[in-house]
Amino acid sequence: MHITVYGAGAWGTALAIAYAKSHPVTLWGRDADTLLRCAAERVNQALLPGAPFPPGLVVEADLHRASRSADLHLVVTPVAGLRAVARHLAAEGHTTPLIWACKGFESGTGKLPHQVVADELGADFPCGVLTGPSFAAEVAAGLPAAITLAARDAAFASAWTQHLHQPRLRLYANDDLIGAEVGGAVKNVMAIAAGVSDGLGFGLNSRAALITRGLAEMARLGAALGARPETFMGLAGMGDLVLTCTGDLSRNRRVGLALAEGKSLDRILKDLGHVAEGVLTTRETVALAQRHQVEMPITESVDALLSGTLSAREAVERLLARDPRSE
Q: What is the per-residue pLDDT across 165-192, written as a single tens digit (0 to 9) for each?
A: 999 999 999 999 999 999 999 999 999 9
**Among the three residues 155, 175, 195, which one is the final residue of a domain in this structure?**
175
Q: What is the mean pLDDT of the chain?
A: 95
Question: Quick one: residue 97, left, alpha or beta (phi over 0 = left, psi -120 to 50 = alpha)?
Answer: beta
Predicted local distance difference test score (pLDDT) of residue 139? 98
Residue 135 maps to which CATH number? 3.40.50.720
Predicted local distance difference test score (pLDDT) of residue 318? 81
Same domain, 124 and 211: no
Residue 242 maps to which CATH number? 1.10.1040.10
Residue 323: band (very low, low, confident or very high) from pLDDT cuts 50, 70, 90? low
Residue 102 lies in a domain: yes
Same domain, 297 and 244: yes
Question: Which range of residues forms the domain containing residue 7?
Answer: 3-175
Residue 180 lies in a domain: no
Q: Which residues are catalytic?
A: 187
Same domain, 85 and 106: yes
Residue 270: band (very low, low, confident or very high) from pLDDT cuts 50, 70, 90? confident
Which residues, in sequence order, are CB contacts of 65 under 8 Å at separation 6+? Answer: none
Number of H helices, E strands in the chain: 15, 8
Residue 214 lies in a domain: yes
Same domain, 169 and 203: no
Reported pTM:
0.95
Same domain, 10 and 46: yes
Q: What is the per-residue pLDDT across 15-43, written as a single tens digit (0 to 9) for each?
A: 999 999 999 999 999 999 999 999 999 99
Answer with the residue of higher pLDDT: 317 or 99.
99
Q: How many domains does the chain have?
A: 2
Residue 66: band (very low, low, confident or very high) from pLDDT cuts 50, 70, 90? very high
Same domain, 137 and 158: yes
Residue 56 lies in a domain: yes
Q: Are strands 25-28 and 3-6 parallel, antiparallel or unpaired?
A: parallel
**Among the three residues 125, 140, 175, which one is the final residue of a domain in this structure?**
175
Predicted local distance difference test score (pLDDT) of residue 326? 67
Q: What is the per-residue pLDDT across 233-260, written as a single tens digit (0 to 9) for each?
A: 999 999 999 999 999 999 999 999 999 9
Same domain, 164 and 16: yes
**Shortest CA distance to 310 belongs to which of 216, 108, 320, 220?**
320
Predicted local distance difference test score (pLDDT) of residue 174? 98
Residue 64 lies in a domain: yes
Q: How far is CA 12 from CA 161, 182, 201, 276, in A?
A: 18, 20, 34, 15
